[in-house]
């Protein structure tokens, strides 16, 4: 999604809604203080490409493999091996059993990427752990943390041991309703 204000590019983003709404309108919600006058005119939809929304809703294929769908509706099953910076942006490298050389696609040509499902079962949770709030955005639920100098060693229930820069963490919190218990020596 691209946003232009007064004909100038203001920013771009990805619509967080998985399915396009069935309605035929648009809603604009103001977050400015009450009483401030705002005016919006001349809204135009220049191009509408619903491929990404459509691809997210389609059958992904073999769940034991990574699946990549291009903006041109080409599909591959295999393994994503890297996402690295290139001349025109990020480059996705994808290895498939059906071609001898890995496929390289620029970010602008990739519509949807599904990751392999992995092992069956419910992923473990960090029930008695903490939530680390990350600077910028994001959070991690971790089972334990060890703060040493400029680093934080954490134990994540899915990712295992991870070392983070301490400066990248803005807050540590205990999930609501959770209390830490300690055993007394008998």
Give the residue carrying structure tokens 């771009």: 12
CA 96 to chain centre: 24
How far apart CA 69 and CA 52 sit, in angstroms, is 9
Ordered by where they begin, the domains of the chain are: 59-114 (2.30.30), 130-173 (2.30.140)
* pLDDT value, residue 24: 64
Q: Which residues of the chain have pLDDT under 70?
A: 1, 14-26, 35, 46-57, 60, 119-128, 176-186
Structure tokens at 4: 């232009």
How far apart CA 152 and CA 164 sit, in angstroms, is 5
| 0.85 surpassed by pTM | no
pLDDT digit string, tens, across residues 24-67: 666 777 777 776 777 777 777 766 666 655 656 677 678 889 98
């Amino acid at each position: 999604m691209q946003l232009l204000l007064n004909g100038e590019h203001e920013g771009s983003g990805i619509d967080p809604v998985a399915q396009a709404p069935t309605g035929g309108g648009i809603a604009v919600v103001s977050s400015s203080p009450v009483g401030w006058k705002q005016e919006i005119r001349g809204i135009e939809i220049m191009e509408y490409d619903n491929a990404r929304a459509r691809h997210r809703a389609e059958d992904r294929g073999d769940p034991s493999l990574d699946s990549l769908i291009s903006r041109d509706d080409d599909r591959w099953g295999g393994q994503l091996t890297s996402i690295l910076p290139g001349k025109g942006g990020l480059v996705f490298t994808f290895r498939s059993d059906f071609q001898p050389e890995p496929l390289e696609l620029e970010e602008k040509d990739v519509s949807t990427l599904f990751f392999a499902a992995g092992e069956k079962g419910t992923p473990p949770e960090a029930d008695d752990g903490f939530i680390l709030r990350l600077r910028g955005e994001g959070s991690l639920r971790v089972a334990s943390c060890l703060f040493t100098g400029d680093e934080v060693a954490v134990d994540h229930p899915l990712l295992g041991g991870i070392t983070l820069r301490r400066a990248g963490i803005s807050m540590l919190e205990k999930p609501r309703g959770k209390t830490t218990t300690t055993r007394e020596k008998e």
